[in-house]
Amino acid sequence: MPLQSRFLSQLDVRSDKLLKLFEKRGGQIGKRLERTLAPMTQDDDVDAGRECVLKWLCVYLNEDPANLVREFVAEDEAAIKESFEDTTVGIGAAVARVGW
């Protein structure tokens, strides 16, 4: 089952409801959300919109959105495995480097 495409399509379906939920939030989290809600209305890029919704969800759940996405680049498999040890949930992609 293609989990990534399924996740993203369901995120697209639920984005409007999530946005309404975020707008209703009060308190400190509501203030943090207000500061970060503007970017989605300024950009029609689908990927940028998805990124904003995921970041807002992190803020809504009182998590740091800076920890949402991490890019690991390493030349050897041991270094990659070491980088993943602190990752709770992630999507991985293997990239082979070819020398010419």
Residue 73, in any domain of the structure: no
* Residue 74 domain flag: no
Domains of the chain: total: 1
| Residue 51 in domain | yes
pLDDT 10s digits, 35-66: 776 655 555 678 888 888 888 888 888 888 77
Which three-class secondary structure state does DSSP give residue 98? Answer: coil
* Residue 96 within a domain: no
pLDDT in tens, 59-73: 888 888 777 766 666
Tens-digit pLDDT profile for residues 2-42: 888 898 899 999 988 988 888 888 888 888 888 776 655 55
Find all residues with CB under 8 Å of 46, minimum gap 6, and list them: 12
Task: Give this prediction's pTM.
Answer: 0.61
Please report whether residue 93 resides in a domain.
no
95 lies in some domain: no
Q: Which domain holds residue 53?
A: 3-67
